[in-house]
Amino acid sequence: MRRTSLAAAAVCLLCAAAAAQTPVDRSKPPAAGPAPALKLPPIETRTLSNGLQVRVMGVRKVPTVHVALTIRTGVAADPAGKFGLASLTADMLDEGAGSRNALEIADAIDFLGADLSASGGVDATSVELHVPVARLADALPLMADVVVRPTFPEAELNRLREERLAGLLEMQDDPEQLITAAFPRLVFGAEHRYGSPAIGTPASLKSIAVSDLEAFHAANIRPANAVLVVAGDVTADGVLPQLERAFGGWKGAEGGASPAPANPPAAAARRVYLIDTPGAAQSQIRIGGVGVPRSTPDYFALRVLNTILGEAFTSRLNTNLREVHGYAYGAASRFDMRLSAGPFYAAAGVQTDKTAEALKEFFVELNRIHEPVPSDELEKAKNYLALLLPRNFETTRGTAASLAQAWIYNLPADYYTTYADRVRAVTAADVKRAADKYIVPGKVAVVIVGDRKAIEPGVKALNLGPLTVVQPGEIFR
C-alpha cells in the first residue's frame, strides 16, 4: 500500500514538473464559453384566507429566511401636490406600530437577530424581514404590525420631514446629486411625477400631514394589492401556518393598484441645459430623454444594446471617454424601465476643461450605435448578460427581490429560466432596430452641471441646440 502511494506521488510530481515547463499564454483571457442553464428551485404559490398571495422558493444554503411583503404602489402613485407621500409613508411604517414605538421595534428585532426594513420605490413599496428560520415565528408578528398597524407618530414625521428638507438643500450643492434631480425635471417636467425627487419637494413635504399618511396607507397598503415572497430554508407547507397567523386577519379594500403615470411626449428637438456651479472641478453630463416601459417587447434587444453602449465596463462609452481619452473615471448609459416609460440617458462626470470634447465623443457613440454591431462584440454582450443573471439568486435577499420584480412587472413564470435563451436570440438586426427606434441623438436633452464661465464657450461652439441656463433652485420647486 505504501509502495503504491509513493509511486502515485512520484507520478504527480513528474506531471507538475512538466506543467511548470509548459509556457502559459496570458496575453488574452480564455474564452468564456456558453452560459450554463440557470436551474432554480420551484416556486410554490399559495393564498392566505384573506386572499393575500404567497410565493415561496426553498433555498437550502443557510438556515435563514427572507420575507418580502411587496405592494404594487410606489412613488409613481403620489398625488399632485403631495410628492414624497409614498416614500414618506414607507419610511414611517417602522417608526411606530402596534403597541411599540420605533425604539422598541428596533430592540425587539435586534433581540431576534433579525433585520426589518421598509422602503418605497417607483412602482412598489416593500417591507422586508431577514431572520434565522428558528426565529421566524417570533419575528412575523412584528413585521405584521409594521405593515398592518403603523401608528405614524407626528414627532417622527416632523423629524423625517426636516431630514428630507435638509437633504434637498444639500443636493443643490452637490453636482452629482444636482444632475440626478435636474435631468428628470428637464425631461419630464415639474407636473409629471418622474420629474421630481422621490423624496418630494420642499413645498410638497411641508403640506404632508399624518392624515395624508393614514389615507395613503388605507388606500394602497392592502392584501389585494400585495404579495408575500418568501425565500429561504423553508417549504410552503411549513411556513404557511405562520404567515396565516401573522397576516391572515389583514383586511383591506379590493381592487388593483393605482394606474401608472401617463407617458409624456418625446422631445421634438435637441435642447441643451446648463446649470452653473462656479468653480466645479468636473462637469456632470446626462444626455437622453423619455425611454421605454418595462413591458416593452424590445426589452432583450435593449438590454443587449445598452450593454454594448454603456452598461458593461468594456462598453463603448466607458472605453471611449475613460480608456481612450481619459476625460472621465467612467461613463455609462441606462434605460430605467418602469410601469411607465422611465428615462434613458448616457452619463459621466468629466474634466471641466474637456467638457466640449467629451460631449463630442458622447454623440460619436450615440450615432455609432446605429451602425451594424460586429458579431464578436454582440456575442460578448450577450454572454455578459447571460452570465450575470445567476448573481441575482446568490442570496435569499436577492432571490426574494427577483421574485418580487417578476410580480410587480407581470413577468411570465418561466422568465428567469428562459432569460439566457432570450438574450442569446438577440441579433445584430434587433440591436440596430432598437437603436433606430429608441435612441435619437437629434431629439435629446443635454444637461450639464458645471462651471458656466469655463465651459459655456466650448459647449456653444458645438452647436448642439438652443442653450438654456437653469438655476439650481428651479429644479426643486
The pLDDT score that the predictor gives to residue 477 is: 84
What angle, 0 to 180 degrees and rounded to 10, lies between the N-to-C axes of helices 428-438 and 375-388? 80
Collapse the DSSP code of 175 into the 3-class scheme (helix H, G, I; strand E, B; otherwise coil) and give the result. Answer: helix
**Contact (Cβ atoms closer than 8 angstroms) between residue 274 and residue 468:** yes
Nearest to 63 by CA among 396, 398, 400: 396
Is residue 63 over pLDDT 80? yes
**Contact (Cβ atoms closer than 8 angstroms) between residue 321 and residue 358:** yes
Provide the residue type at 322 as one letter. Answer: R
pLDDT digits (tens, 9 = 90+) for 16-60: 555 555 667 777 767 766 667 788 999 999 999 999 999 999 998
Question: Of all helices (H) and strands (E), which one includes residue 356?
Answer: helix 355-368
Least confident among 77-86, 253-262, 326-335:
253-262
What residues contact 438, with CB distance under 8 A and at least 6 apart? Answer: 291, 292, 298, 302, 335, 344
Q: What CA–CA distance (Å, rounded) separates 221 from 127? A: 11
1 pLDDT band (50/70/90 cuts)? very low
Chain mean position to CA 5: 56
**Contact (Cβ atoms closer than 8 angstroms) between residue 396 and residue 232:** yes
Residue-averaged pLDDT of the chain: 93
Tally helices (H) and strands (E) across the chain. 18, 14
Is residue 3 over pLDDT 50? no
Least confident among 222-236, 254-268, 395-409, 421-435:
254-268
Is residue 2 over pLDDT 50? no
pTM of the entire predicted model: 0.90
**Contact (Cβ atoms closer than 8 angstroms) between residue 292 and residue 343:** no
Average pLDDT of the residues in 364-386:
96
Q: What CA–CA distance (Å, rounded) separates 234 from 83? A: 39
pLDDT digits (tens, 9 = 90+) for 129-163: 999 999 999 999 999 999 999 999 999 999 999 99
Provide the residue type at 303 as one letter. Answer: R
pLDDT digits (tens, 9 = 90+) for 343-362: 999 999 999 999 999 999 99
Least confident among 39-43, 91-95, 291-295:
39-43
What residues contact 362, with CB distance under 8 A and at least 6 apart? Answer: 285, 287, 317, 321, 331, 346, 348
Q: What CA–CA distance (Å, rounded) separates 306 from 22? A: 41
Question: Left, alpha or beta for 426 (phi > 0: left; psi -120 to 50: alpha)?
Answer: beta
| All three cell numbers of 178 | 444636482
Nearest to 356 by CA among 274, 435, 279, 290: 274
Q: What CA–CA distance (Å, rounded) separates 69 from 59? A: 18
DSSP state of 470: E
Is residue 8 over pLDDT 90? no
The pLDDT score that the predictor gives to residue 253 is: 82
pLDDT digits (tens, 9 = 90+) for 226-284: 999 999 999 999 999 999 999 999 998 887 777 888 988 888 999 999 999 999 999 99
Nearest to 461 by CA among 364, 359, 363: 359
Angle at alpha carbon of residue 156, lines to 154 and 160, rounded to 5°: 115
Q: In what order do the strands lie in the sheet with 64-71?
A: 43-47, 53-58, 226-232, 64-71, 125-132, 115-120
Q: What CA–CA distance (Å, rounded) separates 386 from 129? A: 29
Q: Which residue has the cell 481619459?
A: 326
